Amino acid sequence: MRTQVGIVGAGPAGLLLSHLLAGAGVDSVVLETRSRDYVERRVRAGVLEHPTVELLREVGLADRLDREGMRHEGISLRFDGGDHRIDFADLVGKGITVYGQQEVVKDLIAARLGDGGDLRFEVTDVTLDGLADAPVVGFTGADGRREELQCDVVAGCDGFHGITRDAYDPQMFDRTYPYAWLGILAKAAPTHHELVYANHPHGFALYSMRSPEITRLYLQVPPDTDVNNWSDAQIWDELGTRLAARGFTLNEGPVLEKGVTGMRSFVAEPMRHGRLFLAGDAAHIVPPTGAKGMNLAIADVRVLAEALTTFLRSGDETGIDGYSDTCLRRVWRAEHFSWWMTSMLHVPPESDPFGRRLQLSQLRYTVTSRAAATTLAENYVGLPHGVSP
């Protein structure tokens, strides 16, 4: 087979890249090891930055998002028994939208298949060769037949555990945090219209939602936590304790999903090797406290789609040569913001009275200083695409 861009991975990064390229008249083939059903059901983050929403609208992918997405114009920081709202609309004139990552994936798959896009699910044994100048992607299709895909460039959009980053030896920057999140998805209508970030002596808690009928909630736990040691009743009880505030009620309901997620920061530099370009989680991971993961992936592929289109149409390599540096400036800004939110809101695993008082001081400053609150709001809703932080 022959195509212009071989895309490994059918998450938001790979699918959106294929869609953007198609709009510019550039051919691509998307290869995914999982089934279509799996990638459409895989529950991930659900906070879309303002620039992400604007891009999806711009390229015709926001019909369902605009109908079903939940617009938020602020968040609450809850600590010391008080609730403090950060008003995004007042501070920066923008907001975020809660719309599950799996819903974005569904919309992208439907759009690509509707336009005749070439998506290959359930492929195995993916290999990369000729990345210096003539890439070949080998794979075994769902029918068991071995095939080779010749292409001009390869986009590695296959996540942190994918194979594309292993094709070269980037410099790794890594930090593992001494806590994890125990998360549940519950069939319980939200009782609060915006996300709540709680710093409690027992540990961090996050109150969020996925729809008017489904809530998504998290508790800070040790990284080695066995989810089977937490009953549903214990989880609800601890959530009630950590999220407690005057006038706040917590709806309980059947737990649909339960799991423990470790927290880490990771960046691979550079994000390019010859004709291979990494995007999204293949190149960087952020702790989820800052709600940046999917948004960074989308920002990456917006830059990459433009750079590849220019290169493939005219041979101009300016965009692809600058791709890694351009994306990494935004990546490191998001890494810092996510680290800052994480360190401000999570209780250290060992007793640290001095550190605890520093946390509370930072929280009080953030909710009483307009300048500090604006910094949080500006980073949370997302810096405009095209701006180099």
Q: Using CB atoms within 10 A of its CB, is residue 306 exposed (0-12), middle (13-18) or buried (19+)? A: middle
Beta pairing partners, 137: 128, 149
Segment 56-106, tens digit of pLDDT: 999 999 999 999 999 999 999 999 989 999 999 999 999 999 998 999 999
3-state DSSP assignment of residue 4:
coil
In degrees and rounded to multiples of 5, residue 362 shows phi and psi of: -65, -40
pLDDT, position 377: 98
Catalytic residue among 19, 50, 72, 284: 72
Contact 285, 293 (CB under 8 A): yes
Over the chain, what is the mean pLDDT?
95
Segment 99-133, tens digit of pLDDT: 989 999 999 999 999 999 999 999 999 999 999 99
Pairing of strands 203-209, 215-221: antiparallel
pLDDT, position 211: 86
Q: Using alpha carbons only, what angle is made at residue 57 by residues 329 and 48, rounded to the nearest 5 degrees?
A: 50
Active site residue 323: no
Q: Which of the 8 DSSP states describes residue 34? A: S
User: In the chain, what are the domain boundaries?
Assistant: 5-72+94-173+264-346
Active site residue 288: yes
pLDDT, position 348: 87
Active site residue 179: no
The two structure tokens encoding residue 255? 């737990």
Residues of the chain with pLDDT under 70: none
Active site residue 106: no
pLDDT, position 153: 98
Catalytic residue among 135, 288, 323, 346: 288
Q: What is the pTM of this model?
A: 0.95
- Helices in the chain by DSSP H: which ranges? 12-23, 36-41, 50-58, 63-68, 88-92, 101-114, 232-242, 293-314, 318-345, 353-368, 370-381
| 369: number of Cβ within 10 Å | 11
The two structure tokens encoding residue 317? 């390599």
Catalytic residue among 19, 50, 200, 292: 292
pLDDT, position 43: 74
| Rounded distance between C-alpha atoms, residue 114 and residue 98, angstroms | 25
Active site residue 197: yes
Pick among 3.40.225.10, 3.20.20.70, 3.50.50.60, 2.160.20.60: CATH of 5-72+94-173+264-346: 3.50.50.60
Catalytic residue among 179, 197, 207, 218: 197
pLDDT, position 44: 74
pLDDT, position 210: 86
3-state DSSP assignment of residue 373:
helix
